[in-house]
C-alpha cells in the first residue's frame, strides 16, 4: 500500500497533536523536550555516556544548535553539564 504525500502531512499533524498532549505543559519547546527524553533514555544504561556530539548526531542538528539548546536547558534548570576528566 502506497501512502499519498497529503496523507503523510495529515498523519504528521495528528502525531504532533498527540505528542503535544502527552508532554507536560511547561517552558520546554518540542525540540528541548525531545532532547530531554533522549538524555533520560541514555541515563538508563550506566555504561552509555551521552556526549554533546552523540546527542547532536541523534537529534540531526548542527553543533551550534545543540550547544545552544543544552545551554538553554541548563539555564532553565533541567540539566547540569559535567565535564569529563578524561577530556
Averaged over successive runs of 10 residues, the pLDDT of the chain (87 residues) comes to 75 78 71 86 76 87 91 90 71
Cell of 14: 495528528
Residue 24, helix vs strand vs coil: coil
CA 37 to chain CA centroid, Å, is: 6
Position 1 scores a pLDDT of 58
Q: Domain map of the chain by residue range?
A: 27-79
- Residue 24's pLDDT is 58
CATH 1.10.10 fits 27-79, yes or no: yes
CA gap 16, 33 in Å, rounded: 13
Amino acid at each position: 500500500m502506497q501512502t499519498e504525500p497529503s496523507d503523510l502531512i495529515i498523519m504528521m499533524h495528528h502525531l504532533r497533536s498527540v505528542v503535544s498532549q502527552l508532554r507536560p505543559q511547561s517552558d520546554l519547546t518540542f525540540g528541548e523536550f525531545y532532547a530531554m527524553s533522549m538524555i533520560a533514555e541514555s541515563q538508563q544504561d550506566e555504561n552509555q555516556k551521552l556526549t554533546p556530539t552523540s546527542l547532536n548526531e541523534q537529534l540531526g542538528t548542527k553543533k551550534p544548535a545543540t550547544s545552544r539548546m543544552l545551554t538553554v536547558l541548563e539555564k532553565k534548570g533541567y540539566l547540569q553539564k559535567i565535564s569529563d576528566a578524561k577530556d
